[in-house]
Chain A
Amino acid sequence: MNRVRRNRLLTVLFIFAGSAGAVTLMLLAANENLNLFHPPEQIVSGVAPVGVPIRAGGMVVAGSVARAPDSLDVEFVLTDYRGSDFRVAYTGILPDLFREGQGILVRGELDAAGVFRAVEVLAKHDENYMPPELVPIAAEAAGNAG
């Protein structure tokens, strides 16, 4: 191997090792930032961790939405129609497409009492769109209803 080639190989190896290191570091950072999605049964059964940022979702139970009289606090119940229900507490404005019976996603933390403290509530964006996370739950719901 001549010198030019060896230098070139070393450069390539150096770049490769550098990028691999950088990617590893970024993925480690990502693991602290990623929000794992938990379906209702995992929230209820205690599989979902308490006090860690996660995402959850389900269908809004009819009649469960309760607004506080003098603030923007709101509570509602999400279900998978298979017996796993959990309460969500949120402060703020709900999205336009938030409705009873609608599939929604919430981002936040679970507290010790089993209430999901949401910092963000997402509804689907139009009539035809369903968040992929909710497709299995919504299909189940449609099956039960029909």
Chain B
Amino acid sequence: MIPELGNFSLVLALVLSAITGAGGLLGARAGRVRWMRAAASAVSGQLVFVALAFVVLVHAFVTDDFSVAYVAHNSNSLLPWYYKVSAVWGAHEGSFLLWVLIMTVWMTAVAVRRRHLPLDFHARALGVMGLLNLGFLSFLVFTSNPFERLLPLAPADGSDLNPLLQDFGLIVHPPMLYTGYVGFSVAFAFAIAALLTGRLDSAWARWSRPWTNAAWAFLTVGIALGSWWAYYELGWGGWWFWDPVENASFMPWLAGTALVHSLAVTEKRGTFKSWTALLAIAAFSLSLLGAFIVRSGVLTSVHAFAVDPARGMFILMFLFVVVGGSLTLFGIRARAVAAGVRYGPFSREAFLLLNNLLFVVALGVVLLGTLYPLAYEALSGGAKISIGPPWFNTFFVPLMLLVALALGIGPFLSWKRTGIATLRRRLAWSAGAGLALGVLLPLILDEALSPGTLLAVVLAGWVLTGHGLDIARRMRLPDAVRRKPDPGAPGHDGKRARRSRRAGRIPLAYWGMTVAHAGFAMSLLGVALTHELSVEKDIRMVPGEAAEHGGVVFRFNGIVSTEGPNYVSRSGRFEVADGDRRLLLVPEKRQYLAGGSVMTEAAIDPGFFKDIYVSLGEPLEGDAWAVRVYVKPFVRWIWFGALLMAFGGTLALADKRYRRLRTTDSTRVRALPASPAHAPGPAGTGIADYAPGSNAPRGKPG
């Protein structure tokens, strides 16, 4: 009976999501406060019922209820309990239930934080999210129901979870990734609500920013975890393959990165409004496209779930409705916003625009490379092609080097314009430091580096120095001027100076930016140095044999048989000598009992400066084994960098200025007439610019 309870809960949640959608959108249109309230209450109902369904599925897994088809296909009584729990999202149906659960949690968060927002805007945003959830829940209930039964003939035991997924990575990677994907629905819903209310202004941008940052940070961590998981689990030590499904997660990230930066301009300077709304629509639509690519089986990939045309068709239709609907609304509402905001070529606006340009082009490259094989197959009548990593690298790497070049200039720039003389002096320091790093690093590492890697090293030094100098400069400044990017800029009346003195510190948002950009530089260094300095050898070894690769001596001491909870294993013993260090690495070849499949578990000695990686290939004649030995310098910097980026995003959203608008203020904001998006006017006529009590630093209206 319990699985039916889960099924029933999902249907109830579906009905409630329809109420949220209709109540929010129609209530806001008709001005009925009660409808809008009902929309918000229905959200908590959805949370209760979706969470209940999720708990029911977890219960079915933990109690080995193999009468549930999904459990029978993806679990086994021998599986350790923690993998039974994570097996819930180990395949299509359950992972989509997780997706819906996360969507519902985001909705609840938006519903709870209503006091910051005008009632009608809030109701519309919730309504849009309700409609999205209606689509997701329909998909779950009608095409991918995880509670379907195998009655009356329930199997005695399950066919086991794919051994690749019996790993810590499965526990953490999908939840983080989905939280990021679905989190962009908030930015999307806010953009749609802003278009519907005609309130595409800096207040909207300010409301969107923390949500967008949060989703972006989660997605960043999710992608980094996926890359790290592939590195140690797939057994061949790569960390990014330009696989279509990796690209599917990367495209919303690229759009989201552009969005985070474009929102900054829209909030602070009240410009780029339509463009920002378009990016918000794009980021979420690309998340949906990712879901389509993964779950429809149209592409060849490591991650692709089992093929089912009905599911693919459903998501494709949903995608068309969402993208088509939002772009139509965009076309109708987002008229060309009158310019009138002027900025020079060396200004924050110009460089944030450059950031957007570079990231959107990068997005275009990834999109083209991912979809081209599909289009080719359709147009050529079934010929199958794949586009290899060299193609992606040819375009992507130069774009990211350009990003780094611009990033080193960014922190020195003020809004509107920056004096060239000051800029030149500061940039000379960064350039000098970058070049010094380019000269010193090869000497320290005692390795000759190729020109491309050297360029990346110099640029990483340039970015780090630029941000370090700017933070240092701000700390030295008197409190009064610390909060402004340029002490010479206008707008430093006495009142503002006194407020700044009370605040006393560099704002968290600025620290966030600095940390995230340092993370980018760190990842850049990691990618370049790993690519250049990695030693990767596949060798044949007999017990007692030793081999030296990349300055590390590997001695093979034979194979020992061991047993795990649901597998038997052959473990290799490798004595590794790295300089003065001696360590034992034990890679495994596991055979899982339920499915009989064989898995390679690499043994890795992780280090801040290098990883030593050994994995077993296959037994050869006699006692010999094929062995994979890698030495990968700086590989962890790639993921540490990504974590820093996410941490930076989190710092920025914790900035207290996002909490400044209190209930009283938002009531007053609501009382102000909404500024229509197409109304011509000077920059920064957004409501927030007049909102009392919002003393956050902001560029003066131009």
On A, residues with C-beta under 8 Å from B are 8, 19, 22-23, 26-27, 29-30, 33-37, 53, 55, 67, 69-72, 91-94, 96-97, 125-129, 131-133
Contact = CB atoms under 8 A, between A and B. Distances in A.
Given A55-B386, A131-B300, A29 B368 contact: no
A29 B365 CA distance: 12
A8 to B, nearest CB: 7
A36 B385 contact: yes
B393 to A, nearest CB: 10
A30 B369 contact: yes
Contacts of A132: 297, 300, 307, 384
A91 B600 CA distance: 19
B394 interface: yes
B336 interface: yes
A23 B628 CA distance: 39
B229 to A, nearest CB: 14
Given A72-B539, A126-B597, A127-B595, A93 B384 contact: no
A23 B371 CA distance: 13
Interface in B384-416: 384-388, 390-391, 394-395
Interface string B521-542: 0000000000000000011100
Contacts of B394: 29
B168 interface: no
Given A26-B365, A36-B383, A93-B628, A8 B336 contact: yes
Contacts of B364: 19, 22-23
Contacts of B628: 93
A129 B305 CA distance: 8
Given A30-B387, A34-B388, 18 more contacts: A22-B364, A27-B368, A34-B376, A37-B383, A37-B384, A37-B385, A53-B388, A70-B540, A71-B540, A72-B626, A91-B538, A92-B626, A96-B600, A125-B162, A126-B164, A129-B306, A132-B300, A132-B307
Contacts of B672: none
A8 B368 CA distance: 27
A38 to B, nearest CB: 9
Interface string B582-603: 0000000000000101111000
B235 A96 contact: yes
Q: Which 4 A-B pairs have the closest CB atoms?
A: A93-B617, A33-B391, A37-B384, A34-B385
Contact of B385 (A23, A35, A94, A129): A35
Nearest to B595: A127
Nearest to A57: B384
Nearest to B375: A27
Nearest to B235: A96
Interface string B345-382: 00000000000000001001100110011001000000
Query: Which of A53, A93, A97, A125 is the most central at the interface, judged by chain B CB atoms within 10 Å of its CB?
Result: A93
A36 B372 CA distance: 13
B300 A35 contact: no
Nearest to A67: B620
A35 B386 contact: yes
Contacts of B599: 96
A26 B373 CA distance: 13
A40 B595 CA distance: 29
Nearest to B386: A35
A125 B386 contact: no
A129 B297 CA distance: 10
Query: Which of B235, B300, B394 is the most central at the interface, judged by chain A CB atoms within 10 Å of its CB?
Result: B300
Interface in B526-562: 538-540
Nearest to A126: B162
Query: Which of A8, A35, A97 is the most central at the interface, judged by chain B CB atoms within 10 Å of its CB?
Result: A35
Contacts of A71: 540
Contact of A72 (B365, B373, B383, B538): B538
B563 interface: no
Query: Which of A70, A72, A133 is the most central at the interface, judged by chain B CB atoms within 10 Å of its CB?
Result: A72
Contacts of B383: 36-37
A70 B383 CA distance: 39
A93 B587 CA distance: 15
A26 B235 CA distance: 32
Contact of A33 (B304, B361, B365, B388): B388
B376 A93 contact: no
B493 interface: no
Nearest to B365: A26
B385 A96 contact: no
20 contacts: A22-B364, A26-B368, A26-B395, A27-B368, A29-B394, A30-B372, A33-B387, A33-B388, A34-B391, A67-B620, A69-B621, A70-B540, A72-B540, A92-B617, A93-B617, A93-B628, A96-B598, A126-B162, A129-B306, A132-B384
B618 interface: yes
B30 interface: no
Given A127-B595, A132-B297, A27 B600 contact: no
B153 to A, nearest CB: 20
Given A71-B540, A133-B300, A36 B384 contact: yes
A94 B617 contact: yes
A93 B541 CA distance: 13
Interface in B117-166: 162-164
B387 A34 contact: yes
A33 B297 CA distance: 23
Contacts of A126: 162-164, 597
A138 B145 CA distance: 29
Contact of B597 (A22, A67, A97): A97
Contacts of B307: 132
Contacts of A8: 336
Contacts of A36: 383-385
B109 interface: no
A91 B384 CA distance: 25
Interface string B618-631: 10110000101000
A102 to B, nearest CB: 11
Nearest to A25: B395
A146 B391 CA distance: 43
A73 B597 CA distance: 24
B428 interface: no
Interface string B661-685: 0000000000000000000000000
A128 B160 CA distance: 12
Nearest to B600: A96
Contacts of B235: 96
B302 interface: yes
Contacts of B376: 34
A91 B299 CA distance: 28
Contacts of A92: 538, 617, 626
A26 B393 CA distance: 12
Nearest to B589: A96
A122 to B, nearest CB: 9
A126 B388 CA distance: 23
A19 B162 CA distance: 43
A91 B617 CA distance: 12
A35 B388 contact: yes
Contacts of B369: 30
Interface in B322-364: 336, 361, 364
Interface string B213-231: 0000000000000000000
A69 B540 CA distance: 10
A40 to B, nearest CB: 14
A27 B372 CA distance: 8
Contacts of B618: 93-94
A94 B617 CA distance: 7
Contacts of B386: 34-35, 37, 55
